[in-house]
Amino acid sequence: MSAATSVPAIAPVPSGSQATTPAPVVGAVAAGRMDIPYAVAAPASASPQVSSVTGSAATALPPVAQMVSSSTVGQHAPPPNAPAAQPAPATAAPAATAPPPASPQVVLAQMVQQALSRQDSIVGLTTALAAIAGKVALPEPVAKAAQQVLAMRMPLDTGPLSGASIKAAVQRSGVFQEALLVSGQGQAAAGDVKSALLGLRQSLGTWLGNQAPIAQLSAVAPPIRGQVPRARSGDGAPPELPDDPVEIGKVLIERTEAALSRLRLHQHASLPDPGAARQDGQWSLDLPVMVAGQQHLLQMQIHRDPEKEADRPEDRGWQVRFAINLAERGEVGAQISLRARTTGVLLWAEDAETAQSLGAAADSLREAIAGVGLVPGAILVRAGAPAPQAPQSASGAGHYVDAQR
């Protein structure tokens, strides 16, 4: 099954010259924007025996400190025939020196502060793009970039989902963009969500010029390392957009920046805990999905036990948690655990009738697990959302956002 859904055409404005799709913008600290080159290791290929969304990330990528380039102060050459510079007297004040570059920790802290006030679901952007499809004429580069963003949505109800299709969607979620670039997988990085968002922002900026980012109160809680994913509100309501194409473009810039800010927070939440004795793998991400023609956000977290937790690599534990808020069913979530070949599943739903429906399908789920060669473990269904979690310990400082402050 193809992970991309059919994309409605967005009418471009005819141009005298052939437009080209904006090249992917490599994450870097650049003027007017901050795209941190995170060292978030991407999961490698899954075991051939089990089709899953997880894999090994044994190859360590360069730390952030080696990937954030520091700026230098250039020296300007003197004009022709200028007098030779005289040595400074002994009593002269020392020459001013450029301030040292900010440490990666400071850069990350600044990014989190900026992104926290701007972040919002990518569905806010995709619903706006879908609403203007075929109705608003945009410049051709903007229209092409918008098509690329819409193509990132994954349909969930067009047939049985395979582990390979979910894994592909996770890998192109944008969380691993810089890791893929560092490992030489530029083509894979160019086809992910972050590259699509950066391309759309670049084409919008070329069309309208740089717009000042707008701080907004997000309807979506920011991702926090280790917290149970929650989808507290629906995402598919059609937006109210202005009639003027230029004003629509400004809305798209705002929503594109909001989606990029949220993606950066996911990357930050996926960084390893520097204070942990045993480094585990944990990835936090959003997947834009389609259900019954409506757009939703599947919030997902993947966790891998540290390497020393098991004697054999195949016995290491994996855990996948996700949540989605459906228009008629309310918020639904799951926690799937895999250790060796035994798989346990916990399903929950806020709505009691939805939980009852999930419970009635437990036997079918058990058969499906056995059908792919796994050993069914405990399968539990609960009515009601998980209880709120306490903040992480101080060892995780710098890797989570305290929404109360």
Q: What is the DSSP string of 159-213?
A: SPPPHHHHHHHHHTSSTTHHHHHHTT-HHHHHTSHHHHHHHHHHHHHHHH-PPPP
Structure tokens at 260: 């990029």
Amino acid residing at 130: A
Q: What's the pLDDT tens digit per position in 328-345?
A: 889 999 999 998 889 999
Three-state DSSP state, 130? helix
With beta carbons less than 8 A apart as the criterion, state whether 310 and 301 touch.
no
Q: Would the pTM of this model clear 0.75, i.e. be above it?
A: no
Structure tokens at 92: 């002269």
* pLDDT for res 35: 43
* pLDDT for res 261: 94
Radius of gyration of the chain (CA): 24
* pLDDT for res 36: 40
Q: 342-349 and 375-383: which strand pairing?
A: parallel
Q: Which of 258, 332, 255, 254 is nearest to 296 (CA)?
A: 332
* pLDDT for res 227: 83
Distance CA(337)–CA(43), nearest Å, equals 17
Backbone angles phi, psi at 63, to 5 degrees: -65, 165
Residue 334, strand partner residues:
322, 347
What are the 10-residue block averages of pLDDT along the chain, 405 residues in total? 51 46 31 40 44 32 30 34 48 63 82 88 94 92 97 90 90 94 90 96 93 68 85 68 92 94 94 71 92 92 77 79 90 93 95 95 95 94 83 42 33
* pLDDT for res 221: 82
Q: What's the pLDDT tens digit per position in 267-296?
A: 999 988 776 656 677 899 999 999 988 899
* pLDDT for res 279: 65
Q: How far is CA 401 from CA 108, 139, 170, 174, 224, in A?
A: 12, 38, 23, 20, 6
